[in-house]
Amino acid sequence: MPKFAANLSMMFTELPFLERFEAAATAGFNAVEYLFPYDFEKSLIADKLKAHSLEQALFNAHAGDWDGGERGLATLEGRRQDFRDSITQALDYARALECPKIHIMAGISDVTGKTEALYVENVRYAADLAAALDIEVLVEPINARDMPGYFLGSVAQAIDLLERIDRPNARLQFDYYHAQITEGDVTMLMRDSIDSIGHIQIASVPERNEPDTGELNYPYVLAELVAAGYRGWVGCEYRPAGETTAGLGWLAAYRNDAK
């Protein structure tokens, strides 16, 4: 059965960030992920993980001026040093939080030969630093409705670029929500890319709510994922339709499964 990580950027937002760890553990999660930890001392977050017996599954490298519309640095001309600083910072946090995976956002950029070459160079740089710490760097295709102009749009594009990056610890973050919106046929897509997948995320489509609503049949989708050999965390990157805990009925079904 799949094992689920609570995404604390979207779930339990009724609470201040540092209180979401306890709420996730109380709700039955054994791991968490979120966008960014950098507003908080890493020791403070490490204490929360330890106090609530949680694993840190994933977080993102700093992605530039988020409020100003930036969505990653890896394809941005003239930001090489900012990108490198973001990787140093992310790996510093990853080591403190014992986090095995970092998501590197590509940025809002046209796909040109030049941006592709910069992206390959930057992700390779990050992968080489991360490899020394036994950490994976992940790249995620994101749908253009939610993030217009985002450089990485499809799984095929991501896999092509990962082949060019050519580092064993550079892998695909496969988010079923984005994949369904952009490409559909998600189970075939997952099977075809399973050897590249380093992390999974889920949400309903099109609302990005709990996975027991919407057009994707997650009991089937996740059974196929497990059958294909995936054993990592499945990040619950969804916005609860109401109060987070009230919407967790879907999780109980997987717990019953395991008995």
Ligand X SMILES: O=C(O)C(=O)[C@@H](O)CO
Residues with active-site annotation: 140, 237
Site for ligand X in 3-32 (CB under 6 A): none
Cβ at position 103, least distance to ligand X in Å:
5
Query: How many other CB atoms sit within 10 Å of the CB of residue 212?
Result: 16
C-beta of 35 vs 126, nearer to ligand X: 35
Task: State which residue has the least CB distance to ligand X.
Answer: 175
Answer yes or no: are the C-beta atoms of 200 and 228 closer than 8 Å: no
Q: Decide if residue 136 touches ligand X (CB under 6 A).
A: no
Candidates 106, 126, 159, 175; binder of ligand X (CB under 6 A) is 175
Ramachandran assignment for 206, one of left (phi > 0), alpha (psi -120 to 50 degrees), beta (any other): alpha
201 binds ligand X (CB under 6 A): yes
Question: CB of residue 50 vs Mg ion: minimum separation in angstroms?
Answer: 26
CB of 125 to Mg ion, least distance (A): 23
- Angle formed by the axes of helices 80-97 and 113-131, to 10°? 30
CB 14 within 8 A of CB 6: no
* Residue 92 to residues 23, 32, 135, Cα–Cα distance (Å): 26, 18, 11
Residues at the site binding Mg ion, with contacts judged by CB under 5 A: 175, 201, 237
Residues that bind ligand X (CB under 6 A): 35, 60, 103, 105, 140, 142, 175, 178, 201, 237
